[in-house]
Amino acid sequence: MNITIIDTKSANLNSVLQAIKRIDNVNVKISCDLTELEHSDKLILPGVGTASAIMDGIKDNDLYDFILNTKKDTLGICLGMQVLATRSQEVPLNSDIDFIDTLNIVPCDVIFMQKDNLTLPHMGWNTVEHDNHPLFKDIKSNTFFYFVHSYCIKDNAYTIGRCTYGQTFSAAICRDNFIGVQFHPEKSGAQGLKLLENFIKL
């Protein structure tokens, strides 16, 4: 099994790489080369930073059309999940726009989380209630995963996992061959590694 972590030049990808290396019978690399991406069995799209930075990286490295049209199973992690949405409220500083366009693979918006009396970013361990999607095979509902984010996708028709922090939001989404998780499986211990194994076995 050949896995490629898509390099958008906007994320520290090593933690995802090291997690995948712990899974048996998997070859994993980091690349933005379209030939290497085409020859991969599955793809992972991580993200750290801002929505505009990762979208710039996707476009600057000629990845936009490839990602939109790929039929390979693709896992978006954290910001990599958020850019699967239609648009995001995470606009550049001092911008006069309300949203930036993202990949529009999953028809939904990324919004700033409701703060109430809670601290943002939502950082640390929280439980995920899931719908028994194969991504969560042998992972109990309400298992803890590790989160770091201030923006979220509301619960919607494509939600397969939910978390609550001031509001209930999508912890995992799925549309066709695209899956996204808001949490960081690579930082979530044994259960996170199990989820990555499940993705590889889909």
Please provide the DSSP assignment of 63-104 as one string: -HHHHHH--SEEEEETHHHHTTSSEES-PPTT---S-EE---
- Please enumerate in sequence order all residues whose Cβ is within 8 A of that of 59, keeping only pairs 6 or more positions apart, or say none: none
Q: For the residues of 26-50, what is the DSSP string, one character each?
A: -EEEEE--HHHHHT-SEEEE---S-
Q: Name the residues annotated as catalytic.
A: 78, 184, 186
User: Given the DSSP bridges, would you call strands 87-88 and 100-101 parallel, antiparallel or unpaired?
Assistant: antiparallel
